[in-house]
Amino acid sequence: MARVVVDVMLKPEILDPQGQAVHRALPRLGFEGIADVRQGKRFELEVEGPLDDAALARIHEMAETFLANTVIEDFTVRVDS
């Protein structure tokens, strides 16, 4: 069965409090040298049937309408090899 990964991240201009919280905690925990952290979501979809252009187009539509809020988030769709 084919696996498709949809990554959803806040747009660069949108404040990311989760990422900021992680970023600020790192020096306290002894990890230096990280300039920025952004946190987002990763969806792994197990796709039935052939993973043709039509299936990928449907997954792209699904990501755009349901998995991501495209007002504030960007997403990428890729086949996991």
Query: For residues 67 and 8, what is the distance between their CA atoms, to the nearest angstrom?
Result: 8
Is 66 an interacting residue with respect to a second copy (CB under 8 A)?
A: yes
Find the shortest distance in angstroms from Cβ 52 to a second copy.
11
Instruction: Dihedral sign for Cα 48, 63, 53, 45, please.
Output: negative
Contact 5, 80 (CB under 8 A): yes
Of 26-55, binders to a second copy (CB under 8 A) are 26, 29, 31, 33-49, 55
Using CB under 8 A, list all residues that contact a second copy: 1, 7, 9, 19, 22, 25-26, 29, 31, 33-49, 55, 58, 62, 65-67
